[in-house]
Every structure is written in structure tokens, then in C-alpha cells.
């Protein structure tokens, strides 16, 4: 099976932020004061000009009615427009809120699905021919690390990846980069599920960072760490960074060494990595 270099995974566009209703409420308050002023100001001007007295002349009443009608008809028409426009905006915001809630529900379901697959994969025993597959791939850089772990029988995949990627520095991960492509060929679900989880985390953080629903991002991180353990989350961060050569533009949530803004990418993999095959 031919394997080419992993492309950089692009994240989908985020849903609309949920801090828009707060801005809308501010606009409504300002609009309300303007409308109130527009209703009161003509009466104040009329009284200040002609005085406050009840006339017994039909002509004066007719003149006042004509003046008020000419003033208030356009004002009331404008207020009607504002009310209808506000109702349309409220309906749009409610629709957006409903859509975002549907997205959150779908995100929770998908994250739980990915976590279930990851937990199942990580608890499997390492393939008995794993070392031979790595050797056939000519990834000699990782053989020493692998043999240290394979000295025991029935090694769980979780233990193997922990030994390979826990406590590593950026320089250590760069050295392992040419070798981990074969890992992904043999166990592709680890990378795929972890990338899927991060896509949702990135969307939620970008969309709800300044909103009342921001707690969903924190709760999702806690749920991921509680199911897999913080240690395994850190290991998977390091593994995916190493696999992609630091070229995936996400904010890593669990590995402290990858949260450093100075964490750089590694050079492109060798031709042997780009064209490696599994038989």
C-alpha cells in the first residue's frame, strides 16, 4: 500500500459566535431611548412655543391636530419599522442559537464516538509482528525505542505509545518524525480519531470563546482527559505533532511542550518516508 506524506488537515469554518445577543440587547436599549426621546420631544417643543393652555377654539384644535399628525405619523411609521426589524433579528438569533445547540449536541456525540474508538484501540495488545513491520519500512531510528518496550509479552498499545512519546522534548519528537509514519500505517485510527476530536475543540473554542457557552470547551477537555487520562492525552498530542511534523495549525490542549509558541516545525520527511510501503 503506497503511502504519501500526510497533508495538513484544514479545520472547517466555525459556527457564529454566541456573544451577538449581548450586543443586540445594547442596541435595543439605545434604540428604546431614541424612540422615547422622539415621542416626547415634539410635545415639549410645541408647549415651549405655544404655551400650555386648553383652547376653546375649534380652529386651534384643528391646527394642533394637523401639526401633531404631520410630526407623529412618520415617527410612528419609523417605530413600526424598528419593531418589525427587531422581531426579525430576534427570530434570526433564536434560529442561530438552535443551530449552535444542535452543533454542540453533534459535537458531544462525535467526540464520545472518537473516544470510544481510541480507548478500544489503546487497550489492544501490540501486533506481534510490529517490530518486523517497522524494520521492513526501513525506519531504523525507532527500532531501539521499540525493542525496549517489546521486551515484555502482550504489550498494550497504550503502554507502547506512552513509552515512545511521554516525556519527550521537541528535539526528541523531531528525531522520531521520520519513523512514525509506519506507526500510522499500522494503527491509523489513533491519528484519525485524535484529529477528529481536535477539529471539534478548535471550532468550539473559536466560536464560544467570549460567550455564555464557553464552558462547553472546558467540559469537553475534562471529559476527554477523564476517559483517556491526562497522560494519554499528552502522549497523543506528541504523537500527532510528531507524525505531522508540527505542520498542523492547531492549539494543542494537553501537551505542555507543544503549548509553547516557540515550538517549531520539522524539516520535510525524507523520500523514504514519502514513498514507504507496507506489504
The CA R_g of the chain, rounded to the nearest whole Å, is 32
- What is the rounded distance in angstroms from the CA atom of residue 275 to the CA atom of residue 257? 30
pLDDT score recorded for residue 4: 40
Mean pLDDT on 134-144:
51
Mean predicted confidence (pLDDT) in 226-255: 90
Question: CB–CB of 237/253 below 8 Å?
Answer: yes
pTM reported for the whole predicted model: 0.64
Q: Are 211 and 100 in contact (CB under 8 A)?
A: no
CB-CB contact of 201 with 236 (8 Å):
no
User: For the chain, first and last CA: distance in Å?
Assistant: 7
Tell me the C-alpha distance between 73 and 85, whole Å: 18
pLDDT above 60 (res 137): no
Most confident of 12-16, 105-109, 111-115, 201-205: 111-115
CA nearest neighbour of 183 among 212, 141, 151, 223 = 141
Return the closest-CA partner of residue 177 out of 122, 249, 248, 233.
248
Q: How confident is the model at residue 3 (pLDDT cuts 50, 70, 90)?
A: very low
Residues 272 and 180 sit within 8 Å (Cβ to Cβ): no
pLDDT digits (tens, 9 = 90+) for 162-191: 888 888 888 888 888 877 887 888 888 999
The C-alpha atoms of residue 233 and residue 134 are separated, in whole angstroms, by 24
Q: Is the pLDDT of residue 244 over 50?
A: yes
CA distance 203 to 13: 7
Q: Judge whether residue 38 has pLDDT over 50.
A: yes
Q: What is the CB-side half-sphere exposure of residue 213 using CA atoms within 13 A?
A: 22
Percentage of the residues of the chain whose pLDDT score is greater than 90? 15
Summarised one tens digit per residue, pLDDT across range 96-129 is 888 878 888 888 899 999 999 999 999 888 766 5
Residue 78 corresponds to which cell in the numbers above?
Answer: 419609523
- Total Cβ atoms within 10 A of residue 139: 21
pLDDT of residue 8: 42
> How confident is the model at residue 89, as a pLDDT?
84
Name the 3-class secondary structure at 54: coil
Range name among 58-72, 162-176, 220-234 with the lowest pLDDT average? 58-72
Q: Which of 8-12, 52-56, 123-127, 224-228 has the lowest mean pLDDT?
A: 8-12
Highest mean pLDDT among 23-32, 70-79, 197-206, 222-231: 222-231
Q: Are 61 and 46 in contact (CB under 8 A)?
A: no
Question: 232 burial class (0-12, 13-18, 19+ CB within 10 angstroms)?
Answer: buried
Question: How many whole angstroms separate alpha carbon 57 and alpha carbon 270?
Answer: 100
Determine contact, residues 9/248, Cβ cutoff 8 Å: yes
- Note the pLDDT of residue 117: 94
- Name residue, grid cell 512519546: 165
**How crowded is residue 187: how many other Cβ atoms within 10 Å of its Cβ?**
20
> Can you give the residue ranges of every domain in the chain?
20-100, 106-274
Q: Is the dihedral of CA 38, 40, 45, 46 positive or negative?
A: positive
Amino acid at each position: 500500500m503506497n503511502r504519501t506524506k500526510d497533508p495538513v488537515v484544514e479545520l472547517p469554518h466555525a459556527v457564529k459566535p454566541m456573544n451577538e445577543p449581548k450586543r443586540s440587547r445594547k442596541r435595543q436599549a439605545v434604540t428604546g431611548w431614541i424612540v422615547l426621546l422622539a415621542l416626547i420631544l415634539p410635545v415639549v417643543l410645541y408647549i415651549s412655543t405655544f404655551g400650555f393652555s386648553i383652547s376653546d377654539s375649534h380652529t386651534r384644535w384643528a391646527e394642533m391636530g394637523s401639526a401633531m399628525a404631520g410630526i407623529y405619523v412618520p415617527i410612528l411609521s419609523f417605530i413600526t419599522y424598528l419593531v418589525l426589524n427587531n422581531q426579525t433579528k430576534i427570530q434570526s438569533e433564536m434560529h442561530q442559537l438552535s443551530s449552535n445547540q444542535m452543533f454542540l449536541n453533534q459535537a458531544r456525540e462525535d467526540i464520545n464516538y472518537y473516544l470510544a474508538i481510541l480507548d478500544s484501540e489503546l487497550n489492544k495488545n501490540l501486533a506481534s509482528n510490529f517490530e518486523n513491520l517497522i524494520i521492513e519500512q526501513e525506519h531504523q531510528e525507532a527500532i531501539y525505542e521499540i525493542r525496549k518496550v517489546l521486551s515484555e509479552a502482550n504489550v498494550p498499545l497504550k503502554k507502547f505509545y506512552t513509552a515512545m512519546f511521554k516525556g519527550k522534548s521537541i528535539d526528541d519528537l523531531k528525531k522520531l518524525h521520520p519513523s512514525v509514519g509506519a506507526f500510522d500505517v499500522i494503527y491509523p485510527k489513533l491519528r484519525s480519531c485524535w484529529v477528529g476530536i481536535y477539529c471539534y475543540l478548535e471550532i468550539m473554542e473559536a466560536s464560544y470563546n467570549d460567550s455564555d457557552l464557553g464552558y462547553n470547551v472546558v467540559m469537553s477537555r475534562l471529559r476527554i482527559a477523564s476517559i483517556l487520562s491526562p497522560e494519554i492525552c499528552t502522549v497523543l498530542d506528541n504523537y500527532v505533532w510528531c507524525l505531522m511534523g508540527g505542520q498542523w495549525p492547531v492549539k494543542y490542549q494537553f501537551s505542555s511542550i507543544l503549548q509553547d509558541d516557540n515550538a517549531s516545525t520539522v524539516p520535510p520527511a525524507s523520500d523514504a518516508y514519502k514513498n514507504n510501503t507496507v506489504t
